[in-house]
């Protein structure tokens, strides 16, 4: 699923995303497909709510959980939120360099299958001229780990973005299906990054961010985002 950010001036919403609906293909290293009739207004969660949700997730020795310590502005917050809604995943080498398959940075179903049938080493190369080419060390500087500290002791690190908009009830099943695709990889570790709206981002706990869908035709909807519930 492509997410396009558009900026408007005047009285119109500042942030607008075009998203595919009805059959929403999750373009990440995931097996998820969802039918969407609308997007629920996401609620700002407390730090405790997010931490408790993370503690309830399946655990493995090579899996680390983290949250962003801050989000600078509305654009950053919504980019993180939609990245988590899509459960996007990215692969990095031991030097923190982003890896691509045919210059595609995040993993889609085809990439996931290629990893399962082959290997990261054979299928992925260092990205060149990719807009999402951010070094892993830079990202780690912006996140806080829950429970266990990241050791960076393996050949590959997979960043996996998620939030409860990607389906709270079935999330555990999604995660297990995703991780099983790397079952042949012996030197890989995972960082699951939660991107639910958080009070740590100077947002007011319990408040909701209004999302409005407008049908643009041909299965494309425009998502208009209301006022960010800042904690004044």
DSSP assignment of 87-114 equals T-EEEEETTS-BEEBTTB-B--HHHHHH
Burial class (CB in 10 A: 0-12, 13-18, 19+), 189: buried
- Rounded Cα distance, 42 and 81, in Å: 9
Cβ neighbours for 207, distance < 8 A, ≥ 6 positions apart: 43, 44, 229
Neighbours of 193 (CB within 10 A): 23
pLDDT digits (tens, 9 = 90+) for 47-78: 999 998 888 888 888 999 999 988 778 888 98
Q: Spell out, as residue ranges, where the chain has pLDDT lower than 70.
A: 1-38, 129-133, 165-170, 219
Position 170 scores a pLDDT of 67
Cβ neighbours for 203, distance < 8 A, ≥ 6 positions apart: 44, 77, 197, 228, 229, 230, 231
pLDDT digits (tens, 9 = 90+) for 124-144: 999 886 566 678 988 999 999
Q: What are phi and psi of 141, to 5 degrees?
A: -70, -20
Position 167 scores a pLDDT of 59
Position 101 scores a pLDDT of 86
Position 65 scores a pLDDT of 94
pTM beyond cutoff 0.75? yes
Position 112 scores a pLDDT of 81
Position 129 scores a pLDDT of 67
Beta strands, E only, the chain: 4-7, 15-20, 22-25, 33-36, 63-68, 89-93, 99-100, 125-126, 143-146, 156-162, 188-194, 211-217, 220-225
């Amino acid at each position: 699923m492509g997410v396009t950010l558009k900026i408007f001036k005047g009285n119109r919403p500042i942030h607008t995303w075009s998203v595919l609906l009805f059959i929403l293909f999750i373009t990440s290293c995931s097996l998820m497909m969802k039918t969407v009739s609308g997007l629920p207004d996401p609620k700002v969660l407390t730090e405790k709510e997010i931490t408790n949700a993370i503690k309830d997730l399946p655990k493995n020795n090579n899996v680390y959980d983290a949250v962003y310590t801050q989000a600078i502005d509305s654009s950053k917050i919504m980019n993180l939120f939609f990245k988590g809604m899509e459960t996007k995943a990215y692969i990095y080498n031991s030097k923190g360099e982003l890896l691509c398959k045919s210059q595609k940075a995040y993993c889609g179903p085809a990439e996931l299958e290629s990893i399962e049938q082959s290997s990261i080493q054979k299928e992925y190369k260092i990205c060149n001229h990719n807009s999402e080419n951010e070094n892993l060390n830079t990202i780690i500087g912006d996140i806080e780990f829950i429970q266990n500290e990241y050791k960076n002791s393996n050949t590959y690190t997979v960043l996996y973005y998620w939030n409860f908009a990607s389906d709270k009830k079935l999330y555990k099943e999604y995660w297990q299906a995703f991780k099983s695709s790397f079952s042949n990889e012996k030197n890989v570790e995972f960082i699951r990054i939660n991107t639910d709206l958080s009070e740590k981002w100077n947002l007011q706990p319990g408040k909701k961010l209004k999302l409005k869908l407008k049908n643009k035709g041909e299965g494309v909807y425009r998502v208009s985002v209301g006022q960010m519930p800042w904690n004044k």
